[in-house]
Amino acid sequence: MRASGILSRYIFKELISPFLLALLVFSSVAMMAKLIDLMDMVINKGLAPGQVLLLVLYVMPSLLVYTVPMSVVLAVLIALGRLSADAEIIALKASGISLYQMLPPFAVVCLTGFVITALCSISLEPLGRRAFRGHVENVGAQHIAAGLQGGVFNNTLDGLVIYVQEFDPDSLQVKNIMISDRRDLSQPVLIVAARGIILSDQNNLQLLFKLYDGSIHRTDAAQKYEYAVFTTYQMRLLLADIAGAENKPLKQKELGLHSLFEQARDRKSQGLAFLRETTEIHKRFALPFACLVFGLLGLSLGVYLRRGGRAGGFMLSLVIVTLYYLLLSLGEEISKGGFVHPAIGMWMPNGVMGALAIYLFYTTVHEKPYPFGRVYTKKIAPFFTEAATRLINRIDRIKK
């Protein structure tokens, strides 16, 4: 029992480092695409560094759903590739230790990845997407005053057109301002003022227009024209209303699981198609199982990485991940298109690659030859190794 514990800890140490490193690298690479949009917000909307970090936090669950399974398979393949390359797998088998006895550390890593992915996929990702959207909309509204330009009709706000003849961005004071409010088309309002100041009340999430020496023109639902003159007038707008958050329906990826089920039931009761909702539901439950499928597949193939080592494990993990997510994309498209039931389409990648993983694991445990073992050993593994070596050498040259 003690020897088994020592072995498990040894293998776990071989797993945890590549897993954490892969998770950091994959998540950072995936975040790069998001950073382009965030930098645009920093430049155009005055996003503060603290707000950028908050938005990165909101985005992370949607990235971890994919990067955690990728890190699991890479960690398993690299760890086993290293053990196989150093002939430690052969030594363990010669000592009477079977592959089943090596399973616990791999199971811990795979189940940990499963839990993290499930938590992100089912709960944290839609929550983060809603928080990201709401924060971006409020930030855009909060900085609308700074975005005004003199002599230009500004229509960045839904239903509002603002024109100022002169605008001082430092004091936020305006001269000859006109506001056309058509958020309620039955009662359009036109406000004209000689001068004013535009303030953002971020504590109460409001945009405040303080206007002086002007007039209000309004037409009600009965087409009755109203006219009023003022010396001082204040117009308050809720930032949520300005951003149009209440008028924009949530996307399916932003809906919680309960809301998705309700939306699917409502559309079904109305005789409408609900394939997209059902597909999204099955996808959220199917994605976490990729960690288990990847782990079992990597465990089976990793034993054969005698020649490839870490480099072969890296390249093989890319092939496995690419194949899985190609099947996932295909399943999602044919499910939404109604060609197959969403349950079939979204669970197809797990079914296909899971069946392959079980077969290969059985073959590995009983030390039977792979049907493609010779092809893999003679052609595929050397190809992976050579490609990975070239990639690593190129990266080293770039660093120098």
Residue 322 within any structural domain of the chain? yes
Statement: residue 280 has pLDDT above 90: yes
Residue 153 within any structural domain of the chain? no
Residues 133 and 257 in one domain: yes
Residues 256 and 133 in one domain: yes
Residues 321 and 184 in one domain: no
Burial 160-169, CB ≥16 within 10 A → b, else e = bebbbeebee
Statement: residue 362 has pLDDT above 90: no
Residues 223 and 342 in one domain: no
pLDDT higher for 307 or 315? 315
**For the chain, percent of residues with pLDDT exceeding 70:** 76
User: How many domains in the chain?
Assistant: 2
Residues 47 and 163 in one domain: no
| Mean local confidence (pLDDT), 383-400 | 57
Residues 258 and 373 in one domain: yes
Min mean pLDDT across 64-78, 171-185, 357-371 is at: 357-371
Q: Please state, in angstroms and rounded to a whole number, the distance separating the CA atoms of residues 24 and 30.
A: 10
Residues 84 and 40 in one domain: yes
Domain boundary among 243, 268, 290: 243
185 confidence band (pLDDT: 50, 70, 90): confident
Statement: residue 121 has pLDDT above 60: yes
Residue 179 within any structural domain of the chain? yes
Residue 230 within any structural domain of the chain? yes
Statement: residue 126 has pLDDT above 50: yes
Residue 31 within any structural domain of the chain? yes
Residues 221 and 294 in one domain: no
CB distance 301 to 99 below 8 Å: no
150 confidence band (pLDDT: 50, 70, 90): confident
Residues 380 and 286 in one domain: yes
pLDDT higher for 399 or 22? 22
Q: Which domain holds residue 258?
A: 2-140+252-399
Min mean pLDDT across 135-144, 199-208, 329-338, 377-386 is at: 377-386
Cα dist from 101 to 5, 12, 47, whole Å: 10, 13, 53
Chain mean pLDDT for the chain: 81
Cα dist from 5 to 105, 119, 245, whole Å: 10, 29, 55
Residue 367 within any structural domain of the chain? yes
Residue 146 within any structural domain of the chain? no
What is residue 399's predicted lDDT score, i.e. its pLDDT?
Answer: 45
Helices (H), the chain: 2-45, 49-85, 88-94, 103-119, 125-142, 239-243, 257-269, 275-286, 289-302, 309-336, 342-365, 373-375, 381-399
| Mean local confidence (pLDDT), 33-49 | 72
Residues 84 and 136 in one domain: yes
What is residue 191's predicted lDDT score, i.e. its pLDDT?
Answer: 92
Backbone angles phi, psi at 292, to 5 degrees: -70, -45
Min mean pLDDT across 81-95, 116-130, 267-281, 292-306 is at: 81-95
Residues 48 and 186 in one domain: no
Residue 154 within any structural domain of the chain? no
Residues 133 and 270 in one domain: yes
Token pair in block for residue 245? 């958050």
For the purposes of burial, counting CB atoms within 10 Å of the CB of 234, is it exposed (0-12), middle (13-18) or buried (19 or more)? exposed
CB distance 99 to 365 below 8 Å: yes
What is residue 171's predicted lDDT score, i.e. its pLDDT?
Answer: 75
Q: Angle of helix 103-119 relative to helix 2-45, nearest 10 degrees?
A: 30
Q: Please state, in angstroms and rounded to a whole number, the distance separating the CA atoms of residues 240 and 133.
A: 11
What is residue 282's predicted lDDT score, i.e. its pLDDT?
Answer: 94
What is residue 147's predicted lDDT score, i.e. its pLDDT?
Answer: 60
Min mean pLDDT across 96-100, 133-137, 186-190, 384-388 is at: 384-388
Statement: residue 385 has pLDDT above 50: yes
Domain boundary among 215, 243, 271: 243
Statement: residue 389 has pLDDT above 70: no
Domain boundary among 186, 216, 243: 243
| Mean local confidence (pLDDT), 19-39 | 87
What is residue 143's predicted lDDT score, i.e. its pLDDT?
Answer: 60
